[in-house]
Amino acid sequence: MVKLIDIFKKNFQADILDSHEQQGNETIVVSPERLHDVLGFAKNDPETLLNALMDLCAVDYLGQGPRFEVVYHLYSTSKNHRLRIKTRVPEENPKVKTCVDLWKSADWFEREAWDMLGIVFEGHPNLKRLLLFDGFEGHPLRKDYKINRRQKIPEPLERP
């Protein structure tokens, strides 16, 4: 069986920054600029056909090079294989292109990643808070968000 990693390496050569595999659990790391192309390829290529975005999340590596990592967990319902695609974005400009055009499920995933970690998804149709309320300041899953920081209590909603 062909490894997914090899398929991507063949097609994207220099854009695959890193890759590893353990017990069939395959991961590739790509640059944020080429991320959308790689995702589009992953979804549509007849060899990979990763048609389901299972999860999208972000990780905060406080104090490291590019601080944030955005992680995509993909699954193919027809081929029954999985792939994890990661990309690193810097603290000053935590931006990646949205993938709502590829998978509709990305809509809420991306809003959650924006809400909790402050990753900006360019081109997202409705990038606003999902779990927290509108007046919330900051992104609480960032490691430098103070644990005892308190927010202003939101006002009661008026009846429409």
Partner 1 sequence: MRLKVESKKMSSVVENNFLTTKLSELVAWGRKNSLWPLPFGTACCAIEFMGAVDSVFDISRFGAELVRFSPRQADLLLVLGTINYKQAPVLKKVYEQMTEPKWVVAVGSCATCGGFYDNYSVLQGIDEVIPVDVYVPGCPPRPESILLAIVRLQEKICKEAVGEKPELYIYKPHSVRK
**Interface contacts to partner 1, rule CB under 8 A:** 132-133, 136, 140, 145, 147-151, 153-157
Q: How far is the CB of 47 from partner 1 (least distance, A)?
A: 44
Toward partner 1, which CB reaches closer, 80 or 148? 148
The set of residues, in sequence order, having a beta carbon less than 8 Å from that of 116 and lying 6+ positions away, is 58, 131, 132, 139, 140, 141
DSSP per-residue letters across 94-106: -EEE--TTT-TTH
- Is there a contact between 10 and 38 (Cβ–Cβ < 8 Å)? no
Q: How far is the CB of 88 from partner 1 (least distance, A)?
A: 25
Q: How far is the CB of 103 from partner 1 (least distance, A)?
A: 28
Q: How far is the CB of 133 from partner 1 (least distance, A)?
A: 5
Rounded to an integer, what distance in angstroms lies between the CA atom of residue 13 and that of residue 30? 10
Rounded to an integer, what distance in angstroms lies between the CA atom of residue 11 and that of residue 21? 18
- Is there a contact between 106 and 56 (Cβ–Cβ < 8 Å)? yes
- Residue entry with tokens 């104090």: 63
